[in-house]
Chain A
Amino acid sequence: MDIYAVRILKSQPLRLILTIGGVSLCVILMLFLLAVYQGVADGSVEYIRKNCVDLWVLQSNATNILRGSSLVSAPQEQSIRQIPGVKSVSLVLLVLSTVKKGDKARTIFLTGFDPKDGIGGPPQIIAGRSIQGDNEIVLDKSFASKFKFTLGDSVKIQEHMLKVVGISSGTNALVIQYAFVTLHFAQKLMGFPGIATCFLVQVKDINNIDEVANEIRNIVPGIEVYDHKTFLENNIQEMESGFLPLLYTVALIGAVVLTVILSLLLSVNILERKKDFAVLKTLGSPPGFLKRIIIVQALLISFTSSIVALIIFFPLVKVIERISPEVTTKLSVEQILAVISVVAAMSLISSFISMQKLRRIYLLEVFK
């Protein structure tokens, strides 16, 4: 009898509100983790995804650019250019550096690329334009927002002054953000002209990509060659290996807390209505009747809590992003549905845990 389940819940409004509040917080936590994960996932690899070249060539033993070092050189570039199937070779140099504005110094992932061909540049410019010369820089949106850099500002890298000419998006990897300068400037910063992190190779005929890759491997010693898909996967895997364990742990804690809160409420409700339940049992309630009351309560709370969580979540995220711009979130409808499904599943587990209390309800209690 669903109305009975509702009345039991409504009979203790404060307890109900506290429970919905607690479960909602757990739902918000799970949604937030998922949204941050998606934001980081996109921000970490969007640069690679958008620079869709045929082949990525790195130093031997390097599989990604997120958590690995790679150095390739000008002679290797020349060797690759001479391979008949190669259409173009672009150099990208990634350097961890410090950007200064006034007395503030912030670390950034400086990405040097050739602005003439644009390959290796920012995935998306959302304000201003891309760089044209050595004295210009494009900053990530979150980085610029957090440290209050705006278009036209001057930033200092070592002894060089660069003008902020553009703001990019899809370049926030949470712990570090990308900035874009010319390849020449990045090489100058490193003190090694002709050096790069990787080569971005375009082939003349996509059907020959494997042959070209093998040719590069044969001709140029000490390098690794990846097609775009494999290289993207490598980087995603690298990002996930660092982030997912943390995500899973916190999400698991959230789910456990949710289950505990719900189980407590349902168990207390059963104990408080021990006599009512004993009466119903004595009157001949079928085995599923009382269990259904518990399940309906659990699902009602989880559904209401999910709605409350969704109402709170989006404004809350806006506030968090305003306070900490490096936190970039992204959430799809599928992900929201997945969280709600998990919450529903946990609420069912809670109801099954609480149902054990039904076994301790004895029919003879009604005759006491």
Chain B
Amino acid sequence: MNSSIKKSRIVHLNRITKIYGTNEHKTIVLQQISFQFLTGELILLIGPSGSGKTTLLTLIAGLTKPTTGTVSLFERNIEHYTPMELQQLRAKRIGFIFQTFLLIDSLTAIENVEVVLRFIGKPKKDVHLRATQLLNRFHIEYLSRRFPPTMSQGEKQRVAVARAVANNADLILADEPTGSLESKQGFDIIRLLQTYAKEQNKCVIVASHDLRLVEYADQILRLEDGMLREMD
């Protein structure tokens, strides 16, 4: 990445706490977490299962609200977004990669990518062109007309990455993206995301319990007992 590219703040977590349940049944999932996520970085969020990694991702995406504290997304408190604005934000500026990729089985690979482009209101012709370019970029043009159930995990993974970056998202949230992959495929996906963060000056947040990914991360955050710790 060109060092002259200016990094900007995408997400700002300010003393956020997330509690599920009430009174004696309450569970503190996240506790007094503060952090800033910048563009041009791949941030690895590690921690054991149930440590709150996914909850943190859903807070950042605006899918759920913190019990206390504030989440600022693109320099605006998430509480100040209307549901419609949040939907548009997810469509236009956020990309998602899920643990099992969650491609739509009834749609072909190219349609899975096109669907996201449709959400941002691109003209039909441009949608197809952009989706084709993305499949070429990730070397999966041969999958264009194939449906997810006929694809390998590695192929699904690449389609999922193509879908996540289709809208040129400023923020990619990846939840255990290597969880269902073999080592090589897992490293492939992280490298793709790392390249995207560096070359496009975007912010990629990867939640994982796979410690082998640390060498690809610009920052490593460890979640344990609801607390966030930066690791060197």
Q: A residues bordering B, Cβ < 8 Å?
A: 1, 3-4, 7-8, 11, 273, 275-276, 279-280, 282-287, 289, 363-364, 366-367
Q: Which of B100-108, B177-185, B198-206 lines the interface with chain A?
A: B100-108
Contact present for A11 and B102 (CB under 8 Å): no
Cβ–Cβ < 8 Å partners of A4 in chain B: 104, 106-107, 111, 115
Q: Contacts A279-B102, A367-B57 hold; do A1 and B111 have CB atoms under 8 A apart?
A: yes
Q: Is B106 a contact partner of A286 (Cβ separation < 8 A)?
A: no
**Given contact pairs A4-B104, A8-B106, A283-B91, A367 touches B98 in the complex (Cβ within 8 A):** yes
The answer on a CB contact under 8 Å between B91 and A285 is yes
Given A283-B96, A284-B94, A275 contacting B102 (CB threshold 8 A): yes
Q: Name the residue on A nearest B121 (C-beta).
A: A286
| Binary CB contact string for chain B from 71 to 111 against chain A (1 if under 8 A, 0 otherwise) | 00000000000001001111110101011001011110001
Q: Is the CB of A11 within 8 A of B115?
A: no
Given contacts A284-B89, A287-B84, A367-B57, 16 further A-B contacts (CB under 8 A): A1-B111, A275-B102, A276-B106, A283-B90, A283-B96, A283-B116, A284-B92, A285-B87, A286-B87, A286-B119, A364-B63, A366-B98, A367-B54, A367-B58, A367-B98, A367-B175
Contact of B118 with A by CB under 8 A: yes
The reply to whether the CB of B67 lies closer than 8 angstroms to some CB of chain A is no
Known: A364-B63, A366-B98, A367-B58. A282 touches B90 (CB 8 A): yes
Q: Which residue of chain B lies nearest to A283 when distances are taken between CB atoms in the complex?
A: B116
B64 at the interface (CB under 8 A from A): yes
Query: Is B118 in contact with A1, judged by CB distance below 8 angstroms?
Result: yes
Could you say which residues of chain A place their CB within 8 Å of the CB of B116?
A: 283-284
Expressed in whole angstroms, the Cα–Cα distance for A7 and B148 within the complex equals 13
By a CB distance below 8 angstroms, the chain B residues around A287 are 84, 87
Question: Considering only CB atoms, which chain A residue lies closest to B64 in the complex?
Answer: A364
CA A273 – CA B102 in complex, angstroms? 12
Which residues of chain A are near B58, meaning CB under 8 Å?
363-364, 367
Least CB distance, B57 to chain A, in whole angstroms: 7
- CB nearest to A11 among chain B residues: B106
Q: Kindly provide the distance from the CB of A310 to the nearest chain B CB, expressed in whole angstroms.
A: 29
Q: With A282-B96, A284-B91, A285-B119 as known contacts, state yes or no: A366 contacts B106, CB within 8 Å.
A: no
A276 touches B91 (CB 8 A): no
23 example contacts (A-B, Cβ-Cβ < 8 A) are as follows A1-B111, A1-B118, A3-B111, A4-B106, A4-B107, A4-B115, A7-B107, A276-B104, A276-B105, A276-B106, A283-B119, A284-B87, A284-B89, A284-B90, A284-B91, A284-B92, A285-B87, A285-B119, A286-B119, A287-B87, A367-B54, A367-B58, A367-B99
Determine the distance from Cα of A31 to Cα of B58 in the docked complex, in whole angstroms. Answer: 53
Residues in chain A near residue B105, CB distance under 8 A: 276
Q: How far is the CB of A345 from chain B (nearest CB, A)?
A: 28
- The distance in angstroms between the C-alpha atoms of A8 and B102, with both chains bound, is 16
Interface string of B162-205 (1 = CB under 8 A from A): 01000000000001000000000000000000000000000000
Chain A residues near B63 (CB-CB < 8 A): 282, 363-364, 367
B49: min CB distance to chain A, Å: 13
A305 to chain B, nearest CB (A): 22
Report chain A residues within 8 Å CB of B84. Answer: 287
Q: Say whether A284 contacts B102, CB under 8 Å.
A: no
Chain B hits for A273, CB < 8 A = 106
Residue of A at shortest CB range from B101? A279
Complex: how many Å from CA A364 to CA B29?
Answer: 15
B104-A279 in contact (CB<8A): yes
Q: Which residues of A contact B92 (CB under 8 A)?
A: 284
Question: Which residue of chain A lies nearest to B114 when distances are taken between CB atoms in the complex?
Answer: A1
Q: Which A residues are CB-close (under 8 A) to B120?
A: 284
Interface-central residue, B87, B89, B98, B116, by most chain A CB under 10 Å: B87
- Report how far A318 CA is from B50 CA in the complex, Å: 69
Inter-subunit contact B88/A284 (CB<8 Å) = yes
Q: How far is the CB of B149 from chain A (nearest CB, A)?
A: 11
Q: Which residue of B lies closest to A289 (CB)?
A: B119
Please, how many angstroms separate the alpha-carbon atoms of A352 and B19 in the complex? 36
Whole-angstrom distance between the Cβ of A360 and the nearest chain B Cβ: 16
What B residues does A276 contact at CB under 8 A?
A: 102, 104-106
Task: Judge whether B119 and A366 touch: CB under 8 Å.
Answer: no
Measured in the bound complex, the distance between the Cα atoms of B105 and A37 in whole Å is 48
Residues of A within 8 A of B99 (CB): 367
What is the CA–CA distance of A363 and B65 in the complex, to the nearest angstrom? 13
Q: Which residues of A are found within 8 Å of B98, using beta-carbon distances?
A: 279, 366-367
Chain A contacts of B88 at CB under 8 A? 284
A280: chain B residues at CB < 8 Å are: 104, 115
Which residue on chain B has the smallest CB distance to residue A363?
B63
Distance A289 CA – B91 CA, assembled complex (angstroms):
12
Shortest Cβ distance from A281 into chain B, in angstroms? 8
Task: Find the residue from B57, B106, B115, B118 having the highest chain A CB count within 10 A.
Answer: B106
